[in-house]
Amino acid sequence: MTKPTPEQVVVDSLAALEFTADTVRRLEAGRWSHAAAALTAGAGLERTADAMGLTLDALRIGLASWAGTRRGLGLINEQQSAELLRLASGEGEVV
Amino acid sequence: MSLPTRPGDVPLNVPLRDLAVAYDCHALRILWHRHGIGDPLTAEQRLDHALAALAYQHALAERVLHSRWSIATDALAAGATLDTVGDAMGGLEADTVSHVLRWWANDQHQEGLMDDARRDEVRRLADGQGGAR
């Protein structure tokens, strides 16, 4: 196998970086939806944060921010937004 | 094997492809439930699938991101600019690429994963003193 030229290394490396960034962006697009599903099913904030590798505060803030963004884009209604904020606050946790 | 409930439950030796398939499987089950496709899930099943999806998702992202600074270094050494590398990394500013690259090199050096010469080479690249072209 011949050694790649510097030009090939640049092209391949940049392609790998673009693929990485795109993959992570796609993965992260679904994470708050999964977090809401876990919380709705009774996982509780602590277990959900653990599953996401986040602190409790990061989960609360991220979920509230996601709810605000979705509400702002008209993807959820007022009631659904309020429910997400309730979950983010830890209300309704199954003890 | 029980389902993972945190990223640390996912073994490090699981191939990347298997991680992606596992994530997709659990994420799809939640999606199907939400849209009334297939048998509805119980609350316990939803909880299991959601936590597993989150754990696999985090593990997958970590795995994908693991080598990105090493790849960035390869690109810079071969003649790419900090701007081009930043664009390829999802729109990072050149200053951010430079700053994080230096931090990464210092961290790798402190962990004993990079010798002095390699760290200095990465620092040089982070300063925009590029490579082959």
Is the separation of the CB atoms in B51 and A53 below 8 Å? Answer: no
Q: What is the pLDDT of residues B54-108, one digit of tens each?
A: 999 999 999 988 889 999 999 999 999 999 999 999 999 999 999 999 999 999 9
How many interchain CB pairs under 8 A, A with B? 123
Q: Which structure tokens are listed for A62?
A: 């991220």
Q: Is B79 inside any structural domain?
A: yes
Q: Is A30 inside any structural domain?
A: yes
Contact assignment for A17 to B23 by CB distance below 8 Å: no
Do B52 and B77 belong together in one domain? no
* Euclidean distance between CA atoms A34 and B46, whole angstroms: 10
Q: Is A94 inside any structural domain?
A: no
Rounded to the nearest 10 degrees, the angle between the axes of helix B68-77 and helix A6-29 is 150
Do B39 and B60 belong together in one domain? yes
Region B11-34: mean pLDDT is 93
Is the separation of the CB atoms in A31 and B57 below 8 Å? Answer: yes
Q: In which domain, by residue range, is A10 found?
A: 6-89
Do B38 and B73 belong together in one domain? no
Do B122 and B101 belong together in one domain? yes
Q: Is A95 inside any structural domain?
A: no
- Considering only CB atoms, which residues of chain A are within 8 Å of chain B? 6-7, 9-10, 13-18, 20-25, 27-28, 30-31, 33-35, 37-38, 40-43, 47-48, 50-53
- What is the total count of domains within chain A? 1
Show which of B16, B37, B65 is a domain's final residue: B65
Show which of B33, B65, B97 is a domain's final residue: B65
Contact assignment for B6 to A34 by CB distance below 8 Å: no
Q: What is the pLDDT of residues A38-60, one digit of tens each?
A: 999 999 999 999 999 999 999 99
Rounded to whole angstroms, what are the CA distances from A58 to A54, A55, A65, A66?
Answer: 6, 5, 10, 12
Taking the CA atoms of residue A42, residue A46, residue A50 and residue A52 in that order, the dihedral angle to the nearest 10 degrees is: 70
Is the separation of the CB atoms in B115 and B125 below 8 Å? Answer: no
Long-range CB contacts for residues B24-28, cutoff 8 Å, separation at least 24? B26/B50, B26/B52, B26/B53, B26/B56, B27/A30, B27/A34, B27/B53, B27/B57
Per the document, the length of chain A is 95
Contact assignment for B71 to A51 by CB distance below 8 Å: no
Q: In which domain, by residue range, is B122 found?
A: 68-126
Q: Is A33 inside any structural domain?
A: yes
User: For A32, which residue in chain B has the nearest alpha carbon?
Assistant: B54
Residues of chain A in contact with residue B77, where contact means CB-CB under 8 angstroms, are 9
Contact assignment for B90 to A40 by CB distance below 8 Å: no
Do B28 and B51 belong together in one domain? yes
Note the pLDDT of residue B133. 46
Q: Is A61 inside any structural domain?
A: yes
Q: Is B39 inside any structural domain?
A: yes
Query: Smallest Cβ distance to A53: which of B7, B65, B84?
Result: B7
ipTM above 0.85 for this complex: no
Contact assignment for B85 to A35 by CB distance below 8 Å: no
Q: Is A85 inside any structural domain?
A: yes
Region B30-57: mean pLDDT is 94
Q: Categorize the per-residue pLDDT at A95 as very low, low, confident or very high, splitting at 50, 70 and 90.
A: very low
Regarding pTM above 0.90, the answer is no
Q: Is A1 inside any structural domain?
A: no
- What is the total count of domains within chain B? 2
